[in-house]
Structure 1
Amino acid sequence: MTFSLPHHWVWDFWTVLDDGTVHLFYLHAPHSLGDPELRHRNASIGHATSTDFINWTDRGVVLGHGAEGDADESATWTGSVFRGPDGVWRMYYTGSRFLSPTETTNIETVLLATSTDLHTWLKQPETALSASLPWYETLADGTWREEAWRDPWIEVDPAGNGWHMLITARARALPAGADSLDRGVIGHAVSGDLATWRAREPLSSAGAGFAHLEVLQLAVVEGREVLVFSCDSAHLVGQRAGSKGGIWAVPIVSGSLFTGELVDLDRAQLVVGEELYAGRIVQTANGAALLGFENEGLDGAFVGRLSDPRPLYFTESGRLLATAQERTR
């Protein structure tokens, strides 16, 4: 029983578990827009709850776009939610500001909203983080249609030294001979108080064949750490150009992500193709499973609803797959 809305497209999402209840936060936009591509300019964040990741109760809209001039004046995009040591729930989300009604140029900013109950959220506009030099490409560099700085994912520092944020970003520097579009990296920021964030060097190098790495997540499957992200076929570049895109995973040596060792994106492999996108690994009663939004239908048209969880497993060669695919060893 997939989660869907009768008159809206549903796509990127994130979840958090509180006292046995799964809280789902999802992007949605109305079918009345006509063209599903217009959803990106009109996205709001909705809320639903479940106890099994299958049967959902919709709770309505919790965050909409801001006023003219705000960093989220066009739309509110993907984020993540977690509870701080003070007991306050924090939603770091993406604010999108399109510069023209007829062009795709936009600027993305990581923003913060807070809640005491996961139902009512208050924006905290003084807490904002933007793409910054010298490591990250900005709109002024002129190589990309957007200032990519979105999809924040928060992790506690393993050594107890604050928090880390993983961000969809693009590098300014490229390896010699690399495709000029091959700039997708794992953006990185750190904080000691969850209010002030400082950008740091990327956690990966450009030139791995991804124009962007969307909806990053660090997760554990069968006791192994993996970094999950999404990149569709249209944004595979360089050595991966012409290949099939979708939801990807790359193995991580346990505890190594924030120790200075760069993630080797050359080891990234597809978990599932573009029929699903914006994958998240969740922990169900039966173990780790993959959720994604249903992206492409059999006719190639955009679907826009959430999938049911697909149990995950590792093959003997170490590749992460979902059980909805043919199980081969």
Structure 2
Amino acid sequence: MGFTRTDHWVWDFWHANDGVEDFLYYLHAPKSLLDPHLRHRNARIGVATSADLQRWVDHGVVLEPGGAADFDGSATWTGSVVQADDGSWHMFYTGTRFLSADTVTNVETVGRAVSTDLVTWTKQTGSLSADPRWYETLADDTWHEEAWRDPWIHRDSAGLWHMLLTARSRTGSGRDRGVIGHATSTDLQHWTVQPPLSEPGAGFAHLEVIQLVTIDDRPVLLFSCDTDHLAGRRKADGVQGGIWALPLDTDVLDSPLDVASAVQLTTEDLYAGRAVRTRTGDWALLAFENVDSEGTFIGGISDPLPLEWAPDGSLSFARTEVSA
């Protein structure tokens, strides 16, 4: 296993590279909690560095929750890191606030932190919330959380920044409201929430840890959904959850994405997959080790798993080993 901590569970993560080292930002919570389900209430963001995506040096916590009344008062969750034109690094992360100690009810909001070295981060004022014109919020009383998390930042060819998020539509049937949330910005500081990039009814109660990346000149959307959060026909057919991939014709986000056509890349023994580019230019998937054969949570991040495009046009694991 590529990255683990003996005293902490490790799960969702994201990646950055400064041209010298790879930086792995990861969620972690102490195993002294005993119940792995409690990790979500106690998540902190840590960072580790590597020269080969396999051997990691841990640097500990880089971002923690704010005060009790802040949008990130309970925990800091998944995000992404991009570099602005002035060279500064911007981390967009999920802040969550649980409303009580005995329920899973929580409100998720996106915050931003800035760094010059990818290690020391300073939180910025302001945050971004789900817009009730298009997105389900806690006030609708239709879901146990206000889903607005896992921000992934993508810059299109015109220079416009897009934020893709785990969200739920205000419309749709019951559980089957999972959509890709969307916001845009010209400067990484001021964001405008847009309508969803996908339609409800695709068979997912949520689409988590979204990533849009171009592999060998072909864009692909990656996301994860576990078995418990499949919906509609997928649920009825007994489909198992995992990591999903949707090849795209373009990375220009000017039309709805057909997430119902996504193809499963892994089962849910791996989760929250991220495609990363190695030092040799190959593409590989990192994912966290989710559950064992008995369904017990494991925690820890895999070594790179080589990726390639299959003859049928789907993203798949390569048969040859990849070099970092």
TM-score by length of 2: 0.95
Q: Structure 1 residues 43-52 or 81-90, which shifts more?
A: 81-90
Find the counterpart in structure 2 of residue 148 from structure 1. Answer: 147
- The answer on whether the counterparts of 2:29 and 2:43 sit within 8 Å (CA) in structure 1 is yes
One-letter identity of the residue aligned with 2:67: A
Q: Give the CA deviation at 1:278.
A: 0.4
One-letter identity of the residue aligned with 2:11: W
Find the counterpart in structure 2 of residue 40 from structure 1. Answer: 40
Find the counterpart in structure 2 of residue 165 from structure 1. Answer: 163
- The answer on whether the counterparts of 1:248 and 1:271 sit within 8 Å (CA) in structure 2 is yes
CA distance in 2 between partners of 1:117 and 1:286 (Å): 24
One-letter identity of the residue aligned with 2:55: N
- The answer on whether the counterparts of 2:275 and 2:283 sit within 8 Å (CA) in structure 1 is yes
Higher strand residue share: 1
In the alignment, which of 264, 271, 275 is matched to residue 277 of structure 1?
271
- The answer on whether the counterparts of 2:96 and 2:106 sit within 8 Å (CA) in structure 1 is yes
Find the counterpart in structure 2 of residue 254 from structure 1. Answer: 250
One-letter identity of the residue aligned with 1:314: W
Matched residue of 1:131: which SS? coil
One-letter identity of the residue aligned with 1:309: P
Matched residue of 2:298: which SS? strand
Matched residue of 2:78: which SS? strand
Find the counterpart in structure 2 of residue 50 from structure 1. Answer: 50
Find the counterpart in structure 2 of residue 59 from structure 1. Answer: 59
Aligned length: 317
One-letter identity of the residue aligned with 1:136: Y
CA distance in 2 between partners of 1:38 and 1:53 (Å): 29
Q: Give the CA deviation at 1:223.
A: 2.4
Matched residue of 1:40: which SS? helix
Q: Deviations over 1:245-268 (max 9, x none)?
A: 100001111233x12x21111210
Find the counterpart in structure 2 of residue 128 from structure 1. Answer: 127
- The answer on whether the counterparts of 2:156 and 2:251 sit within 8 Å (CA) in structure 1 is no
CA distance in 1 between partners of 2:26 and 2:93 (Å): 11
1:178-327 to structure 2, matched below 5 A, reads: 179-241=173-235, 242-256=238-252, 258-259=253-254, 261-284=255-278, 285=280, 287-323=282-318
Find the counterpart in structure 1 of residue 23 from structure 2. Answer: 23
Find the counterpart in structure 2 of residue 79 from structure 1. Answer: 79
Q: Give the CA deviation at 1:299.
A: 3.0
Matched residue of 2:176: which SS? coil
Matched residue of 2:272: which SS? strand
Q: Deviations over 1:270-308 (max 9, x none)?
A: 101111100000011251111100001233211000000
Unaligned runs of 5+ in 1: none
Q: Give the CA deviation at 1:183.
A: 0.5
One-letter identity of the residue aligned with 1:278: A
Unaligned runs of 5+ in 2: none
One-letter identity of the residue aligned with 2:158: A
Q: Give the CA deviation at 1:51.
A: 1.1
CA distance in 2 between partners of 1:60 and 1:112 (Å): 19
TM-score by length of 1: 0.94
